[in-house]
Structure 1
Amino acid sequence: MSARILITTDYLRPGDTVDRLLRQHGLEPVYSPWRGPRDTEAQRSLFDGVAGAILASEPVTADMLARAHTLRVIARSGVGYDSIDVAAATGHGIRICNTPGVNHHAVAEMAIGLMIMAARNLRAVITSVNQGQWPRGAGRELHGATLGIIGYGPSGRATANLGAALGMTVLVSTAHPDSNGNAVQFTDLDTVIRDSDYLSLHTRGGQSAGKLIDASRLQAMKPTAVLINTARGSLVDEKALAKALSDGTIAGAALDVLESEPLPGDSPLRGLDNVLITSHLAGQTIEARTRAGLAAAHAVIDVLENREPAHPVDR
């Protein structure tokens, strides 16, 4: 009997390249697409009878892993893994892998696109034109503005390169400065937050007890600044951000990731004119999805065939 591989990533489907690859290695893909929170029983039974899993960004708790008796490996079809209880998985001997480097160009393009939308007030313009109006307000150029980047992994580096190509001054805060990064200036976190016209987040969540962007750091930003988050919803205190946007502490925000997804109906960010919210799409291009799905499948195959996976996050 073939080992069963659970796939919850909603863009992976029967008959695609990932499905065929798994079957070539004698595995049986089974599909349960994640489209939002599952009920308690669905969570508890999610891993029943499967040897491996390719997951979207849904939460994986210690309780779920405690009854995953046949599960040997979870591979995220993406970079983030803070939604998975890695310590609990390791305690049960379950390997955890991710797929870094597959979507950084997509994320960088999205970050710059959100900056352009904010700079030119495009959401309001498009809405007005659709309503029969013809607004002619002046926007701002990215050229000459200061782009601040927190985190200098693949997506942070790609965003920095695009910003520099547009003529922006690029400031970077990172624990791992690259001395060859001629297009950027490496500096401390407080300076990046204080001096940026556009502050773009590209770092991992869960590194400290508090939020990276809290009320005090929002207060330290320019009143004309725009916050861009394509990294982790857990990085930003959304209540503090909503207040800062309402009070004019900062000019705007563009968020592709949120603390709770989809955006709750009672979110304080709803109804604000100076925030753009997209549905966790930054890494979702056809090209990036293809790379991510295949990388996750190879991770599952490697573990089940007793090889060390390329990108383990549990060791």
Structure 2
Amino acid sequence: MPKIYSTHPLHPRASEMLAGAGELAIASALDGATLAREAADADIVIVRAPLPEALFAGAGRLKAAIRHGAGLDMIPMEAATAAGVLVANVPAVNARSVAEHVIFTALALLRRFRMMDRDLRRDGWLAGRAHADLNHELAGRTIGIVGLGAVGQEVGRIAAHGFGLSVLATTRSARAAPEGARFVPIDELVAESDVLVLCCPLTPETRGLMNAARIARMKRGALLINVSRGPVVDDAALIAALGEGRLGGAALDVFSTQPLPPDHPYFSLDNVIVTPHMAGITEESMMRMGTGAAGEALRVLAGELPVNLRNPEVVERYQQRFPAAD
């Protein structure tokens, strides 16, 4: 039977879909050497952890690497394409989960939830209640969205229609702005936003996008929320701005180094919410991502091309490797 190798366990519905199509194997560890060794005889790899380039050089049967989600930075695209391996993903299915996380963390920062909860538990009712006079409402503020993929679109929709926010947006792609949103250049967006949300992919252009100069342009008291990728933000510059009180707070779900070291300065800042790269993970989104990845795996095993093929230039090479594929 074909071997379907997944870096992580799949949602039960996804596992059920694959049960009759091949042997499902789960990685025993996530280091590069283990992944390359265990995937050597795989026909399909389902990806939720960074893959080493060596995996593609050593997996002679491998037909496809399928991302369990949207972001492709976990897959070395050039190595996959050179090896004649299809790359697919499951876009847009966790957009609602990420967008809800953005709104949740914005509200938690404005309502000083971390500090209130800590002081209430530690020092009692009045200590927790003392934060109330410093709380703020979300309504009526300006939210700036960097990146208008599925997540950015959903953040804009909820912000405008659920909370009455003014929505600014900037994006590399030519697409329509969400209803009620206004496109502006990145530096104007940074300067005008009360809540700045990073939803963009990690590319050479976005690496270090929020550098010291751009962070200095943010409004005093503004919030920064990063649900894109850690290297989009200059950590040292953000830590300095937060520590000096120039920014109201930050909610960070992604980091340049993951897992985040336990002694990282972010943990010492009261005005920072840190989460372990889980903004897009809910039971509902895991089901959608898992079944989407399983569906693409079944298509490839049936000799078809994925619906969400992300390296179409590989098709000729792939069909040379597997002549029956169309």
Give the TM-score normalised by structure 1. 0.92
Question: Match for residue 49 of structure 1?
Answer: 41
Question: Offset of 1:266 from its aligned partner?
Answer: 4.0
Q: Deviations over 1:6-38 (max 9, x none)?
A: 11234x16xx221221123x211111266xx52
Give the alignment of 1:1-315 within 5 angstroms: 2-10=1-9, 12=10, 16-24=12-20, 26-32=21-27, 38=31, 41-56=33-48, 58-134=49-125, 135-136=128-129, 137=131, 138=133, 139-165=135-161, 166-176=163-173, 178-179=175-176, 181-208=178-205, 210-315=207-312
Partners of 1:72 and 1:291 in 2: CA distance: 22
Report the more deviating stretch, 115-124 or 46-55: 46-55
Question: Offset of 1:132 from its aligned partner?
Answer: 4.0
Question: Offset of 1:262 from its aligned partner?
Answer: 1.4
Q: 1:261 to 1:180 in 2, by over 3 A?
A: closer
Partners of 2:276 and 2:45 in 1: CA distance: 23
Partners of 1:238 and 1:132 in 2: CA distance: 32
Q: Deviations over 1:267-286 (max 9, x none)?
A: 33231111110111111111
Q: Secondary structure of the equivalent of 1:30?
A: strand
Contact kept in structure 2, 1:230 and 1:256, CA below 8 Å: yes
Contact kept in structure 2, 1:238 and 1:269, CA below 8 Å: no
Q: Which runs of structure 1 show a deviation greater than 6 angstroms over 4 or more consecutive aligned residues? A: none
Question: Offset of 1:144 from its aligned partner?
Answer: 0.8
Q: 1:265 to 1:301 in 2, by over 3 A?
A: same
Partners of 1:155 and 1:179 in 2: CA distance: 14
Q: Secondary structure of the equivalent of 1:131?
A: helix
Structural RMSD (CA):
1.8
Q: Deviations over 1:122-169 (max 9, x none)?
A: 011111122242222221111111100011111101101111120111
Question: Match for residue 322 of structure 2?
Answer: none
Question: Match for residue 316 of structure 2?
Answer: none
Question: Offset of 1:256 from its aligned partner?
Answer: 1.0
Q: Secondary structure of the equivalent of 1:199?
A: strand
For 1:163, the aligned partner's letter is: A
Report sequence identity in percent: 32
Q: 1:177 to 1:209 in 2, by over 3 A?
A: closer
Q: 1:49 to 1:178 in 2, by over 3 A?
A: closer
Contact kept in structure 2, 1:206 and 1:234, CA below 8 Å: no
Q: Secondary structure of the equivalent of 2:168?
A: strand
Q: Secondary structure of the equivalent of 1:144?
A: coil
Partners of 1:69 and 1:51 in 2: CA distance: 9
Aligned length: 306
Q: 1:144 to 1:209 in 2, by over 3 A?
A: closer
Q: 1:239 to 1:33 in 2, by over 3 A?
A: farther
Contact kept in structure 1, 2:141 and 2:166, CA below 8 Å: yes
Partners of 1:64 and 1:219 in 2: CA distance: 42
Partners of 2:174 and 2:168 in 1: CA distance: 11
Which one has a larger percent helix, Structure 1 or Structure 2? 2
Q: 1:41 to 1:155 in 2, by over 3 A?
A: closer
For 1:109, the aligned partner's letter is: E
Q: Secondary structure of the equivalent of 1:115?
A: helix
| 5+ long unaligned stretches in structure 1 | none
